[in-house]
Chain A
Amino acid sequence: MSAEMALQEQVGASSLRSEDVNVWFGERHVLGGVSLDFQPNQVTALIGPSGCGKSTYLRTLNRMHELIPGAGFAGKVLLDGKDIYGSDIDPVDVRLAIGMVFQKPNPFPTMTIAENVLAGLKLSGRRGYDANELVETSLRRASIWNEVKDRLKDPAISLSGGQQQRLCIARSLAMSPEVILMDEPCSALDPGSTRRIEETIVELSDSMTIVIVTHNMQQAQRVAHNTAFFLAEDGNPGQVVEYGRTEDVFNTPSDSRTNDYVNGHFG
């Protein structure tokens, strides 16, 4: 209980920090010593070639990682200074504070649009909220309200892919998380939907901390304040090669490998 209180105590954006995070799948060492400090109210992009461990790293930040069979972990992830892997912390509380949006939109097919927005509250057993108001504010913040306001009772899977993804963002926002993790949220979407989601991300960063994994270098430059470049070389575990302000990473990278990657020489 006290742990939950501690996690929920501070309202608004909080600081998220990882210290020396290592990850294994079975005996395979896939991430080696990643330490990153995410700034409150800022968007951080994680970029890097496929298989560099950036998505894996993202999943360690809200303990979704441990749901994968054979997953191993070392290091610390601190939310407002508190280790979320502490033995007295319920992973459920961690995921309430740190929301997640997946690569493939995954609205609940058996629920309506409105029910999907409220799904998190129902799933976590919350009571005493104004359902109508919450549905509207969440959908507005995910900039999908105008498209769906007349069809809130329709099944969620009747929406297009881009709309589904924004619904999933709204679903996360309804939980008023302090941090949102996004795992390539636009990779399955058309350019129009991608642009709208990017706008949403920029708006949201006023009130929360956002970490986004992306393959799209332009996207990183458009939405992210900071960028971390991940790389796994020749069977070594993935590592952060460079981390800094986005324009620095893209324009004046300090590492030649970063330079090669952002200029499209590999990956």
Chain B
Amino acid sequence: MTLLNPSPTPQPRPAIEPWKTKNPINTRLVVAASVIPAVIAVALTAIFQLAGPIGLILVFMPLQIIAAGAAGVRIYGRKGFADAMLIIFTIFFSSLVAVLLLSVLWSVISQGFKTISPQFLFQNNKYISATTDLAYGGVGHAIIGTLLVVGLTTLVTVPLGVAIAVYLTETRDRGRNVVRTLLQALSGLPSVVAGLFVYSALIVTGITGYAGWAGSLALMPLMLPTVARVAEEALRLVPMELRTGALALGAPAYRAFFMVTLPAAKTGLVTACLLGVARVIGETAPLLLTINSRNETSIDLTSPMASLPTYVYQYISNSYDTSIQRAWGAALVILMLVAILFATARLISSGKKINLRKRK
């Protein structure tokens, strides 16, 4: 049988996303609804000299709500009012989050850059007091301390976290759900409790005094859930066919894992490591309880150590301007470390995606 009139190949249908449909005719109305209240608010604030942002928001918000409501009703009828409110409140609360976040970033960056200099990054805190001029002293010792303490944590935690991830993905034990729930619960462990735990286990018992390695141990339970979770996702992304392929060739499970699954999940596991480090690099409370603080450079993990977060803590506690400036500087260093770790993690994982796409 021949088809005289073959049906045309169906065109790919555009995805229907009604919440994104735009009606160009109403643009003018919407613009008016957002501009007019702003202008009135600015004018009123200026005329009555209301205190800055407070006045602006107290006048602007109600006006904006009224204007948006009116525009909504004008366009869609009564139904439009609720829609306009939904949009207005979504944008309002989202902007609030953005303002808070950008305020944090902006203050750390702008204040931190006033403090940061080569000398601040490389010198230590010896002979420096809360009122010493910023031209002297720095966080060199704290950077070294943080790198050593977090480095030791990473050495211990990453193998353990990856092994737990292997348990969760490569075995079919009944206990997996328990372990997974436990890890999720552990990811909410208050950092001060982690510090108290190591303090009560090592320092109260006299096994050690305040020491860098005690701090490393205190960071471990905080880092572990992050590493295990991200590593689990990385291993889960390895296609099942590769595992069965290796087993069908007569590979014992451990060789199949180390020679096939592990190399395929490599970038994901590096990401797990980076995000784990980012999670603990700014932790303060556990270190305050376990490594105390130190003003000179030291690489001895068996004695008290300096670290960036405890340095910030030390200097916020004074209200002198130079002291707070030092805290901002160290906070910026922490922020940059976190940002570098995040950017690297993102770069690695996006690079992998591009590669896969190319080869397909």
Contacts and interface: CB of A to CB of B under 8 A. Distances in A.
Given A69-B172, A123-B256, A157-B359, A106 B247 contact: no
Given A102-B241, A106-B245, A175-B250, 14 more contacts: A64-B244, A69-B172, A92-B250, A96-B250, A102-B248, A104-B241, A106-B244, A109-B242, A119-B259, A120-B251, A123-B251, A124-B249, A125-B255, A157-B359
28 contacts: A64-B247, A67-B247, A69-B172, A93-B250, A95-B249, A99-B249, A102-B244, A104-B241, A106-B239, A106-B242, A106-B244, A107-B245, A108-B246, A110-B260, A110-B263, A119-B259, A120-B249, A123-B246, A123-B250, A123-B251, A123-B256, A124-B251, A124-B252, A155-B359, A157-B359, A168-B245, A171-B249, A175-B250
A236 interface: no
B75 interface: no
B260 A123 contact: yes
Interface of B: 172, 239, 241-242, 244-252, 255-256, 259-260, 263-264, 266, 359
Contacts of B247: 64, 67, 95
A187 interface: no
A95 B250 contact: yes
Contacts of B263: 110
Contact of A92 (B239, B242, B252, B259): B252
Q: Secondary structure at chain B's binding surface: helix, strand, loop or mixed? A: helix
A138 to B, nearest CB: 12
Given A120-B250, A123-B255, A108 B244 contact: no
A22 interface: no
Contacts of B249: 95, 99, 119-120, 123-124, 171-172, 175
A243 B165 CA distance: 47
A95 B359 contact: no
A100 interface: yes
A100 to B, nearest CB: 4
B309 to A, nearest CB: 38
Contacts of B172: 69
Contacts of A123: 246, 249-252, 255-256, 259-260
A169 to B, nearest CB: 12
B260 A108 contact: yes
A192 B214 CA distance: 65
Interface in A119-142: 119-120, 122-125
